[in-house]
Amino acid sequence: METIRIEDAKQHVGEQVRLGAWLRNKRGSNKMQFLQLRDGTAFFQGVVSKAEVGDAIFAKVKALHQESSMYLIGTIRQDDRSPFGYEMDVADVTVVGESEGYPITPKEHGTDFLMDHRHLYLRHLQPFAVLRIRNTLITATYEFFNQEGFIKLDAPFLTSSAPEGTTELFHTEYFDTDAYLSQTGQLYAEAGAMAFGRVFTFGPAFRAEKSKTRRHLAEFWMIEPEMAWMHQEESLALQERYIAYLIQAVLDCNEYELDLLGRDKELLAKYTHLPYPRISYDDAITLLQENGFDLEWGVDFGSPEETFLANHFEKPVFIVNFPKAIKAFYMKRHPNRDDVVISADLLAPEGYGEIIGGSERETDYAYLEDRIKEMGLDLDEYQWYLDLRKYGSVPHAGFGLGLERMVTWVTGEEHIREAIPFPRTMNRLRP
């Protein structure tokens, strides 16, 4: 007899199969029990009839608690009334692990309670759907960049530099010196681009963000492609192709999960239509001012501004050429203006904010050295980075996609903490 997983049930209609599953919930009578089962691939129902299984097994099933684990043997049947479309008529049950007093009951629980029990809550419907979509985004990222001729290059997580600013650093001891948890793999990706042409890093980024917003994590995962011999325009085209590819992958692979979450698939499909609009920071400021926002040229956008801009275009939108003063030191200066840099943020619609930040990179040794000093960074820590401009400097560009921001948007979740298995925020280090 074949052992199957629930997602494969449709290939076994009419067959007797074996299955390992957990019990989510059950209801029924003294003659029939309806078991809500899950095995990590899908949710479906097992029907146990006393007449079929006999008194002993039926009594055992009736006594089972939520999250008990078991082997079931039974016949798969198509059932159009069930949301999954298939059910199992159970012939035998072997209990593997009992489960008494499982804390997450079918009643409503508050967010703090669920996050305190995240190690168990992962088993439930919403994290199941969200994190399987996250997995698709990761897999599709590797596929996309492989197809585009990139190699994955792993950047270190322990570093001595603070390229994205010194205010949000996690400090740690490193033998007898100081170290920081990496804010970005970018500088290492730039070294990689000079060696391999096109690389991407993918790893955790650490920011001691003292903000409790629904968009910020202290530990998040970032995908950072870096391309030698590439200017910003080509990088923007690559970015939008990448986002469209990711969304299409989720539409192709996760219809079940999107339906569980009630996410609008037609709306998502619209985001695969390219190109995305591009608007300069200058024009964005004017547009915001005309629409009643009280702000001056030079400020960074907060979440109300980002939400307005992306909703205005009903699509992801690139905001290009930000003021130099509010961006990182490595961004390339504008050829005709000293006050802006060749940068772009991609804002997601529906209030999800910045999902990508990127730029063309400054290539001039002396200018970059000045910028590092102006930013108050320790020049010694960036000598190796400056070497990249000393030995065969070439035009290059790159960007960083925040994986959890992307997951939150695609799944339509309210809060970024849902988009990662074990979120790290200002007030959460456990579990």
Does the protein bind ligand 4AD through residue 230 (CB under 6 A)? Answer: no
Residues numbered 363 to 392 that lie near ligand 4AD (CB under 6 A) are none
Site string for ligand 4AD, 118-157 (x = CB under 6 A): ----------------------------------------
> To the nearest whole angstrom, how small is the minimum distance from the Cβ of residue 205 to ligand 4AD?
7
We find the least distance from the C-beta atom of residue 40 to ligand 4AD, in angstroms, to be 26
Residue 222 contacts ligand 4AD per CB under 6 A: yes
Cα separation, 46 vs 62, whole angstroms: 13
**Minimum gap (Å) between residue 345 Cβ and ligand 4AD:** 6
Q: Is 349 in the site for ligand 4AD (CB under 6 A)?
A: no
Q: How far apart are the first and last CA of the chain?
A: 39
Tell me the closest approach of the beta carbon of residue 254 to Mg ion, in angstroms. Answer: 27
Per 3-state DSSP, the chain is made up of helix, strand and coil in percentages (nearest 5) of 35, 30, 35
Length of the chain: 431
Question: What is the number of the residue whose Cβ is closest to Mg ion?
Answer: 357
Q: Which H or E run contains 353?
A: strand 353-360
Distance (Å) of CA 424 to CA 347, 376, 431: 23, 29, 9
Distance CA 401, CA 406 (A): 8
The answer to whether 130 touches 413, Cβ cutoff 8 Å, is yes
Is residue 357 near ligand 4AD by the rule CB under 6 A?
yes
SS3 for 366?
A: helix
Whether the Cβ atoms of residue 14 and residue 76 lie closer than 8 Å to each other:
yes
**Spatial strand order in the sheet of 219-228:** 151-152, 198-206, 219-228, 396-402, 353-360, 343-348, 317-320, 278-280
Residue with Cβ nearer ligand 4AD (179 or 419):
419
Q: How many residues sit in the footprint of ligand 4AD (CB under 6 A)?
A: 22
| 172-180, 216-224, 334-342, 374-382 -> range binding ligand 4AD (CB under 6 A) | 216-224
Instruction: Return the sign of the alpha-carbon dihedral for residues 178, 184, 185, 190.
Output: negative
Alpha helices in 14-73 (DSSP H): 50-53, 55-62
Smallest distance from Mg ion to CB 164, Å: 8
DSSP 107-148: S---HHHHHHTHHHHTTSHHHHHHHHHHHHHHHHHHHHHHHT
| Residue 423 touching ligand 4AD (CB under 6 A) | no
**Amino acid occupying residue 308:** F
Give residue for tokens 């959890």.
Answer: 404
302/431 with CB nearer Mg ion: 302
Window 16 to 45, contacts with ligand 4AD (CB under 6 A): none
Residue 355 near which of ligand 4AD, Mg ion, none (CB within 5-8 Å, type-dependent): ligand 4AD
Name every residue whose Cβ is closer than 8 Å to that of residue 408 and which is 6 or more positions away in sequence: 215, 352, 415, 416, 418, 419
Which residue in 355, 368, 372, 407 binds ligand 4AD (CB under 6 A)? 355
Coil/strand/helix, residue 352: coil
With CB under 6 A as the contact rule, the residue among 38, 333, 371, 405 that binds ligand 4AD is: 405
User: Which is closer to ligand 4AD, CB of 87 or CB of 224?
Assistant: 224
Q: Output 282 or 354, the one with its CB closest to ligand 4AD.
A: 354
The tokens for 238 are 């690559």
Query: Both tokens of residue 424?
Result: 């790290």
Least distance between Mg ion and beta carbon 115 (Å): 26
- With CB under 5 to 8 Å by kind, the binding choice for 222 among ligand 4AD, Mg ion, none is ligand 4AD
Report if residue 402 touches ligand 4AD, rule: CB under 6 A: yes
- Contacted entry of Mg ion, ligand 4AD, none for residue 310, CB cut-off 5 to 8 Å set by kind: none
* Contacted entry of Mg ion, ligand 4AD, none for residue 182, CB cut-off 5 to 8 Å set by kind: none
String marking each residue 176-195 x if it binds ligand 4AD according to CB under 6 A: --------x-x---------
Tokens at 332, concatenated = 């390339």
How is residue 411 written in tokens? 């799944």
Hey, what are 91's tokens?
A: 């012939």
CB of 242 to Mg ion, least distance (A): 17
Give the residues lining the site for ligand 4AD (CB under 6 A): 164, 184, 186, 207, 209, 216-217, 220, 222, 224, 354-359, 398-400, 402, 404-405
